[in-house]
Structure 1
């Protein structure tokens, strides 16, 4: 790909799958956004929306996998955008990289914030006198980010080991939760309950509310570009990277549907559950009792912490690669690699600091979580969409060993269509009436990043950044290999 090697190839096929599966993280995604889905569409959207969005995401993953097979680098999306563009390669690469960056930051922030929320729910269950506050949620999130940054500063073997553990934590944890919710409760909803529709968003239009409810599934299915970002550290990356993406999406789709059905049918009092501080926790308490609920809540919190760690790992590699090509402020800092651990340590701490800035509005905003989720979904999916769109326009695309053959353009077309629809949807207001505390500030956060990127591009970057840097021919790069 034109780069001297700085990162070691120690990720096996399972490790590559594990990082995307961990970031998608069905337990974290479903438990953190389930309450929003109960108000925006209810069971009908939670279940059928999951199925529909899962299918669309498989199209996106397949289109991305084909590109990943052709360009297996840490730069991933922005690198491939620069290579696939017919003209203005630097600009396409620049904006893709910044969209990917803000989406990754949003994912790390949202996962940490969700973990902090559930940690407080557990503390309140254990010690009823504990007062849950938005300020404490922000502070706990900051501690979580600190711990995850420390874990990421050590060797890539440690990260790979943790991700392997997280896969089994997720699968076994999901089975335990589903079995408990199926066997223990003495009351379940009737089969027809899956068609029950609810609109408590404040908007009178039911279709609009139902579309908002798709956020639950879309938020869960983000971050599978993690496999792409880890390709420089994956053996046989041209095959194992796209397989990692597709396996992570497919396994998450099937397992997530089972978990979603178990939660929906275990709801006892819909109105009371929906209005509780953490609806999934209330479902566990109503069906299983406080003691069992606390034990299962530990599984959920563990899944969220694993998810945040993998998110930060992926974000770090994107920062490392983008800085390697001189596309970020202080690039010389962020692409340096520790000689002891062979990891981009400085990029790790930037990947921890930026999410902390993003969650600061949660100190006073009641809708901060859904706004952060929207930043995550929109930023990432637009970054996914750019190289897929460019591949769609390219008639002489040279695929890698893993490819879609004659169906490549059809799959890419479906993927781009879904990305456009979902991106527009999640920039819109999510709660009515719209006030300073319910306002969806995702467009502002995304707009600020794009404005800075645009000003910087026209001021200086367009004259020095022409897209991914090539250090020379394969033989020349091999001669300067750093490992």
Structure 2
């Protein structure tokens, strides 16, 4: 079986790919960028992982960030090549279905769904426990955090269902607040250190509490473990591609958003990490803290600034979670309108009033609520950890797909293209994704998350087998171009 022919040039109209246009194009160029940047969320990522960096690799571990940025940028460049030529909801699911075959496309779609649904749980639960509860002076309590998480999920679902334009506006606000506060914090911390002398540039080369550790340079050791900061933060930039059918001029705006978000987040994150690290007064004490970022800000800028940070991080958390839910809904919708997802008759419909896929948006809400109610504490933590593996695996497969089908991609005037550099970039991106997966699975503590990842993939495989056995026809062809 061969994949169907694609339009000879980049086409924005879904009818050129066999779909009736149902989603409304409301997202501007900046709003599309905000989708990817909000998913990455530098403030949220560093806030959540800086303690691991200090404990595993010491302050010097921040220099693994530019390595992760360079590697993820290579992947973003490859993904942008696809996004410029097949601007459809479902992104990698559509690319693989149309350029390889629907069975391979389904695998891509399921992996994307898994990483988005686990990512949504991670973001909203972290917002509840690490941001909102400390902000309102609530004592740590798992049950309370889960109740707050459910409330956050409900609010995000209502907004995502109400209007894509509203989602774009909220994300733009979240991104604006996040960029502003990070810049203010970077400048404020450096000025505070210069005036008080409480901090040191020497921290940038310090191993901190890991000095003398025998496995620091070993495989799976301390230094390698610090890569989690960049690998866990600089992901989700492909979410803009999932919103392609709701973006204006998508074959130009979406690729720029994908690449631009990685560059902007990478540079901003590096500046934030340098400022935080220089501002550490007592490396040993801060390294043993559960919230080192908040402790550093409190010591250098006072308690009011810590609370301002929590408010801004909360906004960033909310924006990131809403983008994740919306992106997940578009993946479910894209697979369902092709009758390839459980419950597709309901999940593949777009409400004519809101012009959003209500059923596909409710699904991640329901899964999130069930997760909070059913899964016990330790298992929930392992599930969240497992979510970091899915992006690396998915990105690696996308790069492999590109190398296999690159000659079938059209070339359009004005569309994003790497030209003669596409093969070297793709090969380097593939090497990077392999390295990233190795880094993520190398610690012994990842044994349970690996089992969870394998289990989720097995569930998807079982459904794929059932389709091949009882509904093979839905996996033998793609919709053909029709008139709108």
Deviations 1:334-357 (A, max 9, x none): 121112100011111112233445
Would you say 1:23 and 2:33 are equivalent positions? no
Q: Is the 8 A contact 1:471 1:477 kept in 2?
A: no
- Other-structure match for 2:6: none
Offset at residue 162 of structure 1 (A): 0.9
Describe how 1:25-64 pairs up with structure 2 within 5 A: 25-46=41-62, 48-64=63-79
Describe how 1:344-363 pairs up with structure 2 within 5 A: 344-358=357-371, 363=376
Query: Residues 201 and 222 from structure 1, CA distance in 2 versus in 1: closer, same or farther, beyond 3 angstroms?
Result: farther
Q: Distance in 1 between matches of 2:370 and 2:432?
A: 30
Q: Distance in 1 between matches of 2:301 and 2:41?
A: 23
Cα-Cα RMSD: 2.4
Would you say 1:67 and 2:75 are equivalent positions? no
Would you say 1:206 and 2:222 are equivalent positions? no
Would you say 1:103 and 2:115 are equivalent positions? yes
Deviations 1:396-416 (A, max 9, x none): 232442111111111111112
Q: Distance in 1 between matches of 2:351 and 2:212?
A: 52
Q: Distance in 2 between matches of 1:460 and 1:316?
A: 21
Query: Residues 54 and 326 from structure 1, CA distance in 2 versus in 1: closer, same or farther, beyond 3 angstroms?
Result: same
Q: Distance in 1 between matches of 2:444 and 2:253?
A: 38
- Other-structure match for 1:229: 242
Q: Distance in 1 between matches of 2:214 and 2:362?
A: 44
Q: Distance in 2 between matches of 1:477 and 1:201?
A: 67
Q: Distance in 2 between matches of 1:363 and 1:138?
A: 11
**What TM-score, normalized by structure 2, do the two folds share?**
0.88
Q: Is the 8 A contact 1:23 1:223 kept in 2?
A: yes
- Other-structure match for 1:481: none
Offset at residue 469 of structure 1 (A): 5.7
Describe how 1:254-293 pairs up with structure 2 within 5 A: 254-293=267-306
- Other-structure match for 1:112: 124
Would you say 1:167 and 2:179 are equivalent positions? no
Q: Distance in 2 between matches of 1:293 and 1:236?
A: 40
Would you say 1:312 and 2:312 are equivalent positions? no
Offset at residue 292 of structure 1 (A): 2.5
Query: Residues 359 and 429 from structure 1, CA distance in 2 versus in 1: closer, same or farther, beyond 3 angstroms?
Result: farther
Comparing 28-37 with 196-205, greater Cα deviation is found at: 196-205
**What TM-score, normalized by structure 1, do the two folds share?**
0.89
Would you say 1:419 and 2:426 are equivalent positions? no
Would you say 1:381 and 2:395 are equivalent positions? no
Q: Distance in 2 between matches of 1:204 and 1:91?
A: 47
Q: Distance in 2 between matches of 1:469 and 1:285?
A: 59
Offset at residue 188 of structure 1 (A): 4.1
Offset at residue 362 of structure 1 (A): 7.5
Deviations 1:209-261 (A, max 9, x none): 21121111111111111110011111211111111101111111111111111
Q: Is the 8 A contact 2:338 2:474 kept in 1?
A: no
SS of residue in 2 equivalent to 1:218: helix
Q: Distance in 2 between matches of 1:368 and 1:210?
A: 26
Offset at residue 310 of structure 1 (A): 1.4
- Other-structure match for 1:449: 456
Deviations 1:298-341 (A, max 9, x none): 11121111111111111111111111122221011112111210
Deviations 1:53-108 (A, max 9, x none): 001111000000001111111020011012232xxx23311211111011111221
Query: Residues 456 and 332 from structure 1, CA distance in 2 versus in 1: closer, same or farther, beyond 3 angstroms?
Result: same
Offset at residue 203 of structure 1 (A): 8.6
- Other-structure match for 2:258: 245
Q: Is the 8 A contact 1:99 1:383 kept in 2?
A: yes
Offset at residue 419 of structure 1 (A): 1.4
Would you say 1:393 and 2:400 are equivalent positions? no
Q: Distance in 1 between matches of 2:202 and 2:363?
A: 49
Q: Distance in 2 between matches of 1:390 and 1:353?
A: 32
User: Where do 4+ consecutive residues of structure 1 move more than 6 Å?
Assistant: none
Q: Distance in 2 between matches of 1:17 and 1:326?
A: 30
Q: Distance in 2 between matches of 1:213 and 1:468?
A: 44
Q: Is the 8 A contact 2:202 2:278 kept in 1?
A: no
Alignment length (residue pairs): 458
Describe how 1:189-200 pairs up with structure 2 within 5 A: 189-198=199-208
Describe how 1:119-198 pairs up with structure 2 within 5 A: 119-124=132-137, 130-185=138-193, 186-198=196-208
Query: Residues 206 and 107 from structure 1, CA distance in 2 versus in 1: closer, same or farther, beyond 3 angstroms?
Result: same
Q: Distance in 2 between matches of 1:197 and 1:327?
A: 50
